[in-house]
Structure 1
Amino acid sequence: MLPVPVAELKPNTYAYESRPMVKATGFREYDARWLFEKEINLMGMQALGMGIATLMRERGVRPDIVVGHDFRGYSAAIKMALVTGLMAGGVRVHDIGLALSPMAYFAQFALDVPAVAMVTASHNDNGWTGVKMGIERPLTFGPDEMGRLKEIVLTASFREGSGSYRFVENFQEQYIADLTNRPRLSRPIKVVAACGNGTAGAFAPRVLEALGAEVIPLDCELDHTFPRYNPNPEDMKMLHALRDKVLESGAEVGLGFDGDGDRCGVVDNEGEEIFADKVGVMLARDLSALHPGCRFVVDVKSTGLFATDPVLQENGAVTDYWKTGHSYIKRRVNHLDALVGFEKSGHYFFNAPIGRGYDDGLVSAIAILDMLDRNPDRSMADLRRALPRTWGSPTMSPHCADEIKYEVVDRVVERFTAMKENGETIAGHGIADLVTVNGIRVVAEDGTWGLVRASSNKPELVVVVESPVSEERLHAMFHAVDAVLRENPEVGDYNQTL
């Protein structure tokens, strides 16, 4: 039996190689993220595997699990450490090898396996690792499962067993066939596919070409050093590179995929970088015309257009605003039987008849190409301009330590609540509403709003602002929200701002 993990060990020592190290803050709200070698070691990953196996047995889940890993220099070794823990806990492991996260989710259905553990740090910088987990397809862990897993691992409350291992050869072909076994596009839409040298580079160009698109690859060669930029379609550096390639090539659209392929960012034919929530409104318009009266779920970081857009209202679409996070939105989509769930981060959850309820950047890309195919006389820029005008920010993340970030958000919630109760203004306007389903979204009387929440997977806060009035009001709201944040000395510098 593995000993109780410790929070810190010095690398290149006997203790580091003979004891599991697991920092408690790596257990996030709905997945796990650690700095490898600083916050977790290989024996710590074994402990995590035994913890997942123990939780499966506690919950009465059939002991079969899919595992895969992303393209980072250390991910394969981390996955095998996880596998040894799963096997020691009595689980039968089905290893699909190098994969996208949605490929692992698909494998749960294709291989008839109830559970998944995908080794990936998604869009996090190099040095990070993590695991996206689920034991009830198509759902991934929420706070309840993560809390119990954390307790099992940190107390070494493991159940031992006798598991097994098999490698599933060429599973990638099954995944690609599932995506491409459908009618081809009616015309060869010219698309730039940007992958940031991440895992999606091995699959995205091939899938889009198989559907009849003319693909211009950008940074699709796999390189786990990420030499140009981090593969994150919310990162302006990646979006700028995608914009430049679209304008250079005359493409109809640019599609950017994150490190593990479950998100897709968009640049239109005029080089405009369209934030994912606005793309979501465009898709919702397209899909609600095909499915009148359908329901959508969106996260609290997303544009207010989902509630006010006249086309969605005319099509009878109903939108539910919910907590940010792929696990939360996925569960809400499943619970409400919504057609699609949209996150500003670019996670889209297409339910039947389009998808299986999990987030897949390639399914999102296909939906965007289908939308263009159904509108041959309108460009991506035309579809963007057809939306009511709003001014929105990218997702902005000031540093805040994991140990204190939730307390800071609680303080911010209390501050804005007191401001509203006292009749104070925000950026010169009265406070019309406070939405506290996830952090706080403070809404001014003119509809301009600002959101503050804790990041679920990094030592950061998350700030988003939007105004339906003007760019000036956008900036005013940002400065007002930031002024409240600066009352808390634990809040550091932003990764990007307006």
Structure 2
Amino acid sequence: MQSTAINTEQSIQYFTSESPADEAILICPEGFREYDARWWYGFAGAEQPAEINLAGITAVGAGLAHMVRQRGIEPAIVVGHDLRSYSFEIKTALIKGLISGGMQVFDIGLALSPMAYYAQFALNVPSVAMVTASHNENGWTGVKMGCERPYTFGPAEMAELKSIILEHQAEPAKGGSYNSVNNIEKLYSAALTKGRFFKRHLKVVVACGNGTAGLFAPQILRRIGCDVVEVDCAPDWNFPHYNPDPEAAPMQKAMAEAVRTYGADLAFGFDGDGDRCGVADHEGNIIYADRIGLLLARQFSEKHKASHFIVDVKSSGLFRSDPVLQAYQATVEYWKTGHSYIKRRMGECRALAAFEKSGHVFLNQPLGLGYDDGLATAIAVCEMLAAHPDQSLAALHRQLPASYATPTLNIPCCDTEKYGLVSRIQDYFANLFEAGGLFAGQKITELLTINGARVTVADGTWGLIRASSNKPDLVVVAESPVSLERRNDMLRAINDVLRQFGAGELPDFEGGF
């Protein structure tokens, strides 16, 4: 099962101690989300009550072990944790449950989510459980899980796991063991950077919001020849400056200011667990991840003709009309937002790469192993710039057709209500489309309901309303290839729909409508 290059130490004793005071299990059912688990764990002095405790986490581990055995999958799993102050104790409790259920645990320690995914391949282990709440505020915890690399759980698997745990179906099993893996970071870094030392000298800002990526990203980018300026890379689980979320305005502002201050060629911003990457050019302009994806898709399709790409429903409509992709016979498919959905769909249709507006980029063979990795994204951007030594990222970006897009906008909506609300909004648009009605002043030409409702009108302007998969929010995005005013017409029309269904109103944002 193990590669001889992997250093492990076996020890099980630490994980067989009794739970403190045999505490009662606490698990909030709503923490089992569409494709991972997220709970408010809290911290000393937190006013919000906890949604899960250590006994609950142990139950999650036992339930996951039971589910793996039920499916007839080899009972071996990679486990890692992010830098939050309580993540190690969460992981320890999770491992206790996994071992009690007969799992062979391979603990890679403090890690990024893509390091855990990589370890599945390096160790030839089918399953993964990464303890992280990604970019969520301090106090949140969670687990990203899968039992078939490179895929992670989707709604069906999460519902099955939830049922096993809440109905107390998990049974103990023999054969559990613990293995401490010592050198995954070294192997992961070598795999990412092998053969990639670029002659073009790039000065890059690396912003990490004091998240886990700050421990790894600067060193890896230096290995490919980058001159790295570190911004908020020191680990601090309190996230004192801003949450490590490259899709959010505070981190984007820090990236833009730093790239101008230090005269860098570009800036990368990584989320809390390193599976997403945001980008700013040398002028300090944030380039949304879907547009970075379109630039990368152009680069990839030149070398790999007739490639298929996946993009999420939040992403730019330019993918469908791009003349460069068309010249290379590339095809593009819009799919559900969410790393688990995208990874699964990539495998089904053998897509070369996939892109999400949130900053997840997925590279499939021969470019990668099929999972999302923020550092692999940054290296791909550097490789693209190395292939165009006389052009800046800003210049490459200006070669794309113009469009006027919003950032991702979030409207608070209760977890127990958001899906029903979106379903009613889908029905509203379906009836309007069928009747030939107008929206935002024009006839609807396309309605995608694979993940929320994405409505496109005659001039190519579109808007999306969907339920967030990991927070109690609705999500809205709009874009127009015509003008800012047409984008704002779409936003005003969407705002009217939100009011009509009692969902509140769109939030203010920079450059708003």
Q: Report TM bin, short chain.
A: over 0.9
Match of 1:29 in 2: 34
Match of 1:361 in 2: 374
Return the TM-score normalized by structure 1: 0.95
Q: Which runs of 5+ in 1 are unaligned?
A: 1-13
Secondary structure, in 3 states, of the residue corresponding to 2:79?
A: strand
- Per-residue CA deviations over 1:410-442 (Å, capped at 9, x if unaligned) read 111122222223433212112222111111101
Task: Tell me, in whole angstroms, the C-alpha distance in 1 between the residues paired with 2:389 and 2:214.
Answer: 28
Secondary structure, in 3 states, of the residue corresponding to 1:486?
A: helix
Secondary structure, in 3 states, of the residue corresponding to 2:333?
A: strand
Aligned-residue identity in percent:
54
Over 3 Å counting, the alpha-carbon distance change for 1:493 and 1:288 in structure 2 is closer
* Contact 1:401–1:490 (Cα < 8 Å) also in 2: no
| Counterpart mapping for 1:8-23 below 5 A | 18-23=23-28
Over 3 Å counting, the alpha-carbon distance change for 1:401 and 1:100 in structure 2 is same
Return the TM-score normalized by structure 2: 0.92
| Counterpart mapping for 1:17-166 below 5 A | 18-37=23-42, 38-162=50-174, 163-166=176-179
Secondary structure, in 3 states, of the residue corresponding to 1:217?
A: strand
Distance apart, 1:492 and its partner CA: 6.8
Match of 1:5 in 2: none
Task: Tell me, in whole angstroms, the C-alpha distance in 2 between the residues paired with 1:205 and 1:105.
Answer: 20
| Counterpart mapping for 1:356-435 below 5 A | 356-435=369-448
* Contact 1:400–1:492 (Cα < 8 Å) also in 2: no
Task: Tell me, in whole angstroms, the C-alpha distance in 1 between the residues paired with 2:370 and 2:413.
Answer: 32
* Contact 1:50–1:86 (Cα < 8 Å) also in 2: yes
Task: Tell me, in whole angstroms, the C-alpha distance in 1 between the residues paired with 2:505 and 2:138.
Answer: 21
Distance apart, 1:493 and its partner CA: 6.7
For residue 376 of structure 1, what is the amino acid of its counterpart? P
- Per-residue CA deviations over 1:87-133 (Å, capped at 9, x if unaligned) read 11111111111000000000001111110000001111111111000
Task: Tell me, in whole angstroms, the C-alpha distance in 2 between the residues paired with 1:103 and 1:74.
Answer: 20
* Contact 2:36–2:142 (Cα < 8 Å) also in 1: yes
Bigger drift between 99-108 and 138-147 goes to: 138-147
* Contact 1:453–1:462 (Cα < 8 Å) also in 2: yes
Secondary structure, in 3 states, of the residue corresponding to 1:398?
A: strand
* Contact 2:310–2:351 (Cα < 8 Å) also in 1: yes
- Per-residue CA deviations over 1:344-397 (Å, capped at 9, x if unaligned) read 111111011111000010000000000000001111001110000000011111
Task: Tell me, in whole angstroms, the C-alpha distance in 2 between the residues paired with 1:188 and 1:18.
Answer: 56
Secondary structure, in 3 states, of the residue corresponding to 1:363?
A: helix
* Contact 2:63–2:170 (Cα < 8 Å) also in 1: yes
Match of 2:11 in 1: none
* Contact 1:399–1:492 (Cα < 8 Å) also in 2: no
Bigger drift between 17-26 and 366-375 goes to: 17-26
Distance apart, 1:17 and its partner CA: 6.4
Match of 1:286 in 2: 299
* Contact 1:69–1:119 (Cα < 8 Å) also in 2: yes
* Contact 1:16–1:41 (Cα < 8 Å) also in 2: no
Over 3 Å counting, the alpha-carbon distance change for 1:467 and 1:338 in structure 2 is same
Over 3 Å counting, the alpha-carbon distance change for 1:113 and 1:244 in structure 2 is same
Distance apart, 1:403 and its partner CA: 0.5
For residue 244 of structure 1, what is the amino acid of its counterpart? E
For residue 174 of structure 1, what is the amino acid of its counterpart? L
Distance apart, 1:489 and its partner CA: 2.8
Match of 1:453 in 2: 466
Distance apart, 1:75 and its partner CA: 0.9
For residue 245 of structure 1, what is the amino acid of its counterpart? A
Match of 2:16 in 1: none
Task: Tell me, in whole angstroms, the C-alpha distance in 1 between the residues paired with 2:506 and 2:352.
Answer: 38
Over 3 Å counting, the alpha-carbon distance change for 1:449 and 1:492 in structure 2 is closer
* Contact 1:424–1:430 (Cα < 8 Å) also in 2: yes
* Contact 1:302–1:343 (Cα < 8 Å) also in 2: yes
Match of 2:189 in 1: 176
For residue 270 of structure 1, what is the amino acid of its counterpart? E
| Counterpart mapping for 1:415-494 below 5 A | 415-491=428-504, 494=507
Secondary structure, in 3 states, of the residue corresponding to 2:415?
A: coil
Task: Tell me, in whole angstroms, the C-alpha distance in 2 between the residues paired with 1:15 and 1:228.
Answer: 35
* Contact 2:82–2:111 (Cα < 8 Å) also in 1: yes
Task: Tell me, in whole angstroms, the C-alpha distance in 2 between the residues paired with 1:454 and 1:295.
Answer: 27
Bigger drift between 159-168 and 79-88 goes to: 159-168
Secondary structure, in 3 states, of the residue corresponding to 1:403?
A: helix
1:245 paired with 2:258, answer yes
Match of 2:320 in 1: 307
Secondary structure, in 3 states, of the residue corresponding to 2:396?
A: helix
**What's the RMSD between the two structures over aligned residues?**
1.6
Task: Tell me, in whole angstroms, the C-alpha distance in 2 between the residues paired with 1:493 and 1:399.
Answer: 10
Task: Tell me, in whole angstroms, the C-alpha distance in 1 between the residues paired with 2:436 and 2:69.
Answer: 53
Task: Tell me, in whole angstroms, the C-alpha distance in 1 between the residues paired with 2:361 and 2:225.
Answer: 23
- Per-residue CA deviations over 1:69-98 (Å, capped at 9, x if unaligned) read 011111111111111010111111111110
Identify which of 208, 212, 215 aligns with 1:199: 212
* Contact 2:498–2:505 (Cα < 8 Å) also in 1: no
Distance apart, 1:247 and its partner CA: 0.9
Identify which of 204, 217, 221 aligns with 1:208: 221
Secondary structure, in 3 states, of the residue corresponding to 1:144?
A: helix
For residue 66 of structure 2, what is the amino acid of its counterpart? T
Distance apart, 1:252 and its partner CA: 1.0
Task: Tell me, in whole angstroms, the C-alpha distance in 2 between the residues paired with 1:191 and 1:62.
Answer: 42
Distance apart, 1:293 and its partner CA: 1.1
Task: Tell me, in whole angstroms, the C-alpha distance in 1 between the residues paired with 2:383 and 2:441.
Answer: 43
Q: Which runs of 5+ in 2 are unaligned?
A: 1-18, 43-49
* Contact 1:100–1:262 (Cα < 8 Å) also in 2: yes
1:234 paired with 2:234, answer no
Distance apart, 1:18 and its partner CA: 1.7
* Contact 1:66–1:93 (Cα < 8 Å) also in 2: yes
Secondary structure, in 3 states, of the residue corresponding to 1:141?
A: coil
Secondary structure, in 3 states, of the residue corresponding to 1:71?
A: coil
